Amino acid sequence: MDAAAQRIAEKLAARILPGTEPGATWRGFGIGLHCDGCDRPALPSEEQVELVLPDGRTLRFHAPCADEWRRLKGVLPLLRR
């Protein structure tokens, strides 16, 4: 597991990142805001994904971090059983 995936897994386990599906998803290029997954900024040369959660919060991820979040949020509950 790379450093970004490890950080996302830790945040999911600590419930900093939710395990719920977003209500809406947008893709575009970064504007320097920090990724909620790996904590690094999403640069204008990098694809960024914005997820609006049912509670109204917006999460921003690098595209690979969003993919990793989606994968891990489905796997980690199974590992806790």
pLDDT tens per residue across span 3-16: 999 999 999 989 89
Q: Which residue has the tokens 């805001």?
A: 33
- How far apart, in whole angstroms, are the C-alpha atoms of residue 66 and residue 59? 9
Q: What backbone torsions phi and psi does residue 38 show, to the nearest 5 degrees?
A: -100, -10
Domain ranges within the chain, ordered by starting residue? 3-73
The whole model's pTM is what?
0.89
8 or 1, which is more confident: 8
pLDDT digits (tens, 9 = 90+) for 49-61: 999 999 999 999 9
